[in-house]
A and B are shown apart, each in its own frame.
Chain A
């Protein structure tokens, strides 16, 4: 290996170049080395590769110029993971055997898309490799302008704050929309992310078109005995830093004004042994986040302030269907749903999909005097 790669092998943190070396496939690191030296990537615009019957799930990469001699093609399988990314070792070993047989002995746990990713299956082997993968019990994830692989946090499996069953919602929605995950037909990608509480561990509010975030409506539960275990400085700090100014701590008495509470989770995070979210639980739906686009980055905003979520999650499915239909009709190519709404107006969108305007949807009402009557 050249010096530039040797440098990346050194150090305390486990090196990804060492992992490339362990695959024994010289082409991969030779290609990577060329890119690093020339300071540019050598993949062209892919070309269409895929599994028969699907139009998504395989990311095709075909090298151009001189690099084509080193690594002509380097495709990637996006594999739909189980909810919560829980695995048993026997199934992971099966996946390892599978990619050893068909691809480059290189995996990614996990990609930014929530999928498990497997590298280097050549074009002519894609179909057969997929068939064996399906026998292990796995399917492909999304790519292109389709419904993408959803993401969810660990939820009730490991976390006391999970206010909705994120794992079940993920599995139900993915099973419901699996046809659209594999067959792109929308203006652009549509991402669903499900967080169990406002801590938002999967970044639903910054990275998903349709964010489902667990929330409670009633009072924060206080365990007075556990509260006494905390030093008074901590309680004072929490009271002082509550962004809604809803906490008072006077003469050893800790009180929460639940009417004023904005459910930011700050006090619950710090005093996790004493405070618990309330019991009237459901979800807030936010819409429209994306990283880079026509108008720059968007954060998600409130679409439905509160919705009760119980299997089979009929209301959520109906809402997603309405949004998809509307976006399918009005969206321009390569326009995410948030941008379509921004271009045509949030008011029009709400009216079209039959939702009432609510003050929770905005920080404050409009300050400009130009409006329309729908």
Chain B
């Protein structure tokens, strides 16, 4: 086994960049959104390049990747890039190639769009396909949402961008803690304890330390004449986060009947205007219902309809809700406001309304 090819690090990005990009490195002057999916970059040297962005599935077969490579060879001198939102971007230097490329992409079923004030590609985690912790299946939710919101991907006349993210569990691998609309998989029942497995494979003291709500206590019990160490979970304190299951296979938390999704709104990761905003709870629980996810799609459509109706230009969903007030937003969207909506964790105090500046809605009878 040769070890010399270890720790070589990332490849040199300059080798993979179009010569025009290398020539204009750091010299870009401005950009324009020419049409959905096309950004025109203008350099101080007078050079112009176009970025053509298309949506691809997050899981992609080598056959499809080779097809994208063929297009890049034909129209982009063999250069392309990918984005962290699962888009492919072609760097086109000749203007006449832009429309030809778009046509070939659309014909092959890859929608061109997602630039400017549009629905951005939906970020999602791997879900059931490659995860042991997923409480819900994010790829199929993303697919269902895409079908319902397909046209928004190709529009650029929305008030601001809409970013949707889907995560299978509270680990939030799909960037869900600060997205306009977030769908997060949740458990609603505490983990079950399999004493033998906990004894054999896990450290009770580590589990005690991991639990955010101090719901786990070590215990010592007699089983088949042997003394074994395990843990006890206080169902009153448990908040079903799954931290302990991630560390210990003896505490399975999956429960097909009681796992589901929650919907969160109003986050924003960018530091523009008022800065970063966190996503806030809108719907605490919807049971899993693959593959069409009608209930999730219905709520997301309602959110977007309200956003399009009430938002001012250049206003993200979260900014709009802050302006009209969360109480008003709950009235408009017409979902029940429950005990789960009121924070009761460590930073809860900062969320309580101090003062009397609120709006009366139908919630106050």
Contact = CB atoms under 8 A, between A and B. Distances in A.
Interface of A: 4-5, 7-8, 10-20, 22-23, 28, 32, 35-36, 38-41, 43-46, 52-54, 59, 61, 74, 76, 80-93, 96, 99-100, 105-112, 114, 119, 127, 131, 134-135, 137-139, 151, 154, 156-160, 162, 165, 167, 170-171, 174-175, 178-179, 182, 198-203, 205-207, 213, 237, 241, 243, 264-266, 269-270, 272-273, 291-297, 299, 332-334
B352 interface: no
Nearest to B254: A40
B30 A81 contact: no
21 contacts: A7-B292, A22-B61, A40-B128, A40-B256, A45-B249, A53-B6, A80-B9, A86-B81, A93-B66, A139-B9, A157-B17, A157-B21, A171-B9, A203-B175, A203-B178, A203-B269, A206-B175, A266-B273, A269-B272, A292-B241, A295-B345
Contact of A334 (B86, B210, B259, B269): B210
A82 B14 CA distance: 9
Contacts of B62: 23, 96, 99-100, 105-107
B59 interface: yes
B143 A175 contact: no
B334 interface: no
Given A7-B292, A135-B5, A203-B269, A160 B10 contact: no
A46 B168 CA distance: 18
Interface in B22-46: 25-26, 28-31, 41
B156 interface: no
Given A15-B143, A110-B86, A175-B10, 10 more contacts: A28-B129, A82-B16, A105-B63, A107-B65, A109-B86, A112-B174, A139-B9, A139-B10, A157-B21, A243-B273
The 9 closest A-B pairs by CB, nearest first: A291-B172, A134-B5, A35-B128, A156-B26, A13-B146, A39-B256, A16-B57, A160-B28, A43-B132
B137 A109 contact: no
A160 B272 contact: no
B254 A41 contact: yes
A12 B13 contact: no
Contact of B30 (A74, A76, A160, A201): A160
Nearest to A265: B272
Contact of A14 (B56, B172, B175): B56
B96 interface: no
A196 to B, nearest CB: 10
Given A14-B110, A89-B79, A291 B314 contact: no
Contact of B60 (A32, A36, A108, A167): A108
A38 B256 contact: yes
B55 interface: yes
Interface stretch (B223-231, B274-282, B353-361): B274-282
Nearest to B252: A40
A171 B26 CA distance: 17
A138 B61 contact: no
Nearest to A83: B13
Contact of B63 (A22, A35, A91): A22
Interface of B: 1-3, 5-13, 15-17, 21, 25-26, 28-31, 41, 49, 51, 55-66, 69, 72-73, 78-84, 86, 88, 91, 109-111, 123, 125-134, 137, 139-140, 143, 146-147, 150, 170-178, 206, 209-210, 212, 241, 243, 247, 249, 254-256, 259, 269-276, 278, 288, 290-292, 313-314, 345-347
B122 to A, nearest CB: 9
A8 B16 contact: no
A356 B214 CA distance: 35
A334 B241 CA distance: 14
B133 A297 contact: no
Contact of B10 (A45, A106, A170, A270): A170
A362 to B, nearest CB: 14
Contacts of B1: 52-53, 127
Contacts of A107: 59-62, 65
A333 B174 CA distance: 24
Given A106-B59, A135-B5, A291-B176, A171 B249 contact: no
Interface of B is mostly: loop
A230 B30 CA distance: 15
Nearest to B343: A296
Nearest to B8: A139
B72 A89 contact: yes
Contacts of A114: 84
A87 B16 contact: yes
A43 B157 CA distance: 43
A264 B176 CA distance: 22
Contact of A8 (B140, B178, B274): B140
B61 A105 contact: yes
Contacts of A138: 11
B176 to A, nearest CB: 7
Nearest to A37: B290
A162 B80 contact: no
Contacts of A273: 30
Nearest to B129: A32
A175 B329 CA distance: 48
A20 B228 CA distance: 45
Between A15, A19, A39, A127, the greatest number of chain B beta carbons within 10 A of the residue's beta carbon is seen for A39
A154 B243 CA distance: 34
Contacts of B81: 84-87, 154
Contacts of B21: 86, 157-158
Contact of A199 (B12, B175, B270): B270
Contacts of A38: 256
A87 B82 contact: yes
Given A105-B63, A265-B271, A86 B79 contact: yes
A271 B314 CA distance: 12
Contacts of B79: 86-89
Contacts of A299: 178, 276, 278
Given A108-B58, A112-B174, A295-B212, A89 B256 contact: no
